[in-house]
Amino acid sequence: MVTEALPMRVPMARPNTGTLELDLVGRALRSGTLSMGPYTLAFEEAFAELTGRAFAIACSSGTAALHLSVRALGLKEGQEVITTPFSFVASANCVLYERAIPKFADIEERTLGLDADQVQGAMSGRVAGILAVDVFGHPADHAALADVAARHDVWLLEDSCEGLGSSLLGQPLGSFGDAATFAFYANKQITTGEGGMVVTDNPDLAATMISQRNQGRDADGTWLRHTQLGYNYRLDELSAALGVAQLQRFQELQTGRSKVAEGYRRRLAGVPWLTVPSAQPGTEVDWFVYVVRLAPSINRDKVIADMARVGIPARPYFSPIHLQPFYAERFGYRAGDFPVTERIAGQSLALPFSSLHTESEIEMVVEALFDAVATQLGQ
Ligand SMILES: *Cc1c(COP(=O)(O)O)cnc(C)c1O
C-alpha cells in the first residue's frame, strides 16, 4: 500500500536539535556520569514545572512510562483497563504486560479521545482503571472521564505522549489523572532520542516508580538491595542532557510547529473534500502531527500511494489497535466493533510535519495532495 522504497523529497518528521543540544550532550559525556545523574534530575525538575506536577520520573521510553504507571497503580492479572482503540499500540500493550485486559471503548469525534458515555457503558466489577489518550495533542474530555473514574472508584491514567505543551481550560496536559505519561521519540514535541517521563502528584506512586525504574532498589538507591521486582527503565545522562536542552528551547520549538501548522491551515482550510485539524473551544493544541481528514468519497490509501509516487510521504494515522492482527486474533475483535474509531481512522491522513518543515516543503506536500485527489475527483 505505502511505497516505502522511493526516495522522499520531504521527510515525514525532522527532529529539531542544534548547538545547545550538542553542547549539553558533550558536557554530559565529558562529565563521566553516563547513567542517572545531574542532567536527569534537572530534566525531571524542569518537566515537573512545565506540567504543573509535584513529581516527574524520567525513564527509557514512553512505553516504559506507561508500564511503570500501571504497575504502580496496582494493576493485577485478570483485571480490566478501559482504554481507546484510536491510539498508538503501546497504550494498550502496557496493560497486557501485567496480564490484565485492555477493554476498548469508542472515541468521540469532537476530542478524538475516549467517549465518557462509552466508558461508562464498559464499566464492570473487574475494571481497575481508565487509560485515556490525548490524541495528536488534543485533550481528551478529562472532566467527564475523571467523573466516571470517581463514580466507580477506579484510577485514571493520562497517556499524554502526544500532548506536551497543549492545555485544557488553561491547565497543561499531563496534569490530569492520577498520573500521566510522556514520550520523547524523535518525532514528538521534544526528543531525547528515546525516552519517557511519568508525572504525578502522589508521593507513594512516585516512590514506587522511582524504585521500579531502577531494579526495585530502595528509594535511596542502595547498591544491590532490592525490595521489589523492578526493571532497568532508567534514562541515560546523554539523553537527559538532550532533554534539558530541548526544554530550554521549548518555546522556540513550539513556535516553529505552530508556524508549520498555520502554513498548512492557510492552504487547506475551506477545501471542500478535507477537514483541517482545529483546537476545540477551551483548548490550546501544541501540534504533534498534522492530521487532516479526507471526505469519505476519497480513497485515502490511493492518495497515499499517489503522493509517494512523487516523493511525498503521508500516513494513515492511527490504524485502530483492535484491528491489529495480534489484537484481532487474541481477542476476536472485528471491523465494525468501534465505528467512530474506524470511520475516523479510515479517513485520517498525517502530512509531513515538524518544527523545521519549510514553506516550500509545505507547498510541495499540498501540491502533491491536490494532484492525488484531483485524479479521484476526475479533474
Ligand atoms: C509515542 C507514544 C507512546 C510510546 O512512546 P515510546 O517512547 O515510543 O515508547 C505511547 N502512547 C502514545 C499515544 C504515543 O504517541
pLDDT digits (tens, 9 = 90+) for 176-216: 999 999 999 999 999 999 999 999 999 999 999 999 999 99
Q: Whose CA is nearest to atom 14 of ligand 1?
A: 161
- Ligand 1 contact via 87 beta carbon (within 6 Å): yes
CA distance 110 to 124: 26
Q: Specify the ligand 1 atom closest to the Cα of 183.
A: 7
Burial class (CB in 10 A: 0-12, 13-18, 19+), 72: buried
Name residue, grid cell 498525517. 350
> Quick check: helix, strand or coil at residue 61?
coil
Cα distance between residue 274 and residue 365, in whole Å: 14
Which ligand 1 atom is nearest residue 134's CA? 13
Ligand 1 centre distance from Cα of residue 261 (Å): 21
Does any ligand 1 atom lie closer than 6 A to the CB of residue 69?
Answer: no
How far, in Å, is the centroid of ligand 1 from the Cα of 377? 36
Q: How far apart are the C-alpha atoms of 140 and 340, rounded to whole Å? A: 15
Quick one: which atom of ligand 1 is closest to the CA of 133?
Answer: 13
User: How far is residue 258's CA from residue 247's CA, in Å, rounded to a whole number?
Assistant: 17
Name the residue at shortest CA distance from atom 4 of ligand 1. Answer: 62
Helical segments of 159-296, H only? 203-213, 237-248, 250-268
- Rounding to the nearest 10 degrees, give the CA dihedral for residues 325, 327, 331, 336: -80
Q: Is the pLDDT of residue 2 over 70?
A: no
Using the atom order of ligand 1, give the atom closest to the CA of residue 63. Answer: 9
Q: What is the pLDDT of residues 37-58, one digit of tens each?
A: 999 999 999 999 999 999 999 9
Q: Which of 365, 361, 319, 357 is nearest to 338 (CA)?
A: 319
282-297 mean pLDDT? 96
Mutation test residue for ligand 1: of 87, 133, 134, 162, the one with most atoms within 8 Å of CB: 162
Neighbouring C-beta atoms of residue 208, cutoff 10 Å? 23
User: Is 159's C-beta closer than 6 angstroms to any atom of ligand 1?
Assistant: yes
CB 347 within 8 A of CB 304: no
Confidence of residue 5 (pLDDT cuts 50, 70, 90): low
**Atom 7 of ligand 1, residue of closest alpha carbon:** 62
Ligand 1 atom with the smallest distance to the CA of 162 is 15
Task: Say if ligand 1 is within 6 A of residue 185 CB.
Answer: yes
pLDDT the model gives residue 225: 85
Report CA(273)–ligand 1 centroid distance (Å): 30
Q: Which of 60, 61, 88, 94 to mutate to test the pocket of ligand 1 (most atoms within 8 A of CB)?
A: 88
Calpha distance 310→345 (Å, rounded):
24
Per-residue b/e over 224-239, b at no fewer than 16 CB within 10 Å? eeeeeebbebbbbbbb
Q: Supply 108's cell numbers.
A: 468521540
373-376 long-range contacts, CB within 8 A, separation 24+: 373/273, 373/274, 373/294, 373/298, 373/303, 375/306, 376/298, 376/299, 376/302, 376/303
Q: What is the pLDDT of residues 91-131, one digit of tens each?
A: 999 999 999 999 999 999 999 999 999 999 999 999 999 99
Burial 159-185 (b: 16+ CB within 10 A, else e): bbbbbbbbbbeeebbbbbbbbbbbbbb
Average pLDDT over residues 266-284: 96
> Quick one: pLDDT at residue 135?
97
* Cα of 314 from ligand 1 centre, angstroms: 19
Q: What is the number of residues in the chain?
A: 379
CA distances from 356 to 13, 18, 185, 187, 319 (A): 9, 12, 16, 11, 26
Q: Which of 185, 239, 353 to mutate to test the pocket of ligand 1 (most atoms within 8 A of CB)?
A: 185
292, β-bridge pairs: 349
* Side-chain half-sphere exposure of 260, counting CA atoms within 13 A: 26
Kindly give the distance from the C-alpha atom of residue 48 to the centroid of ligand 1, in angstroms, as a whole number: 19
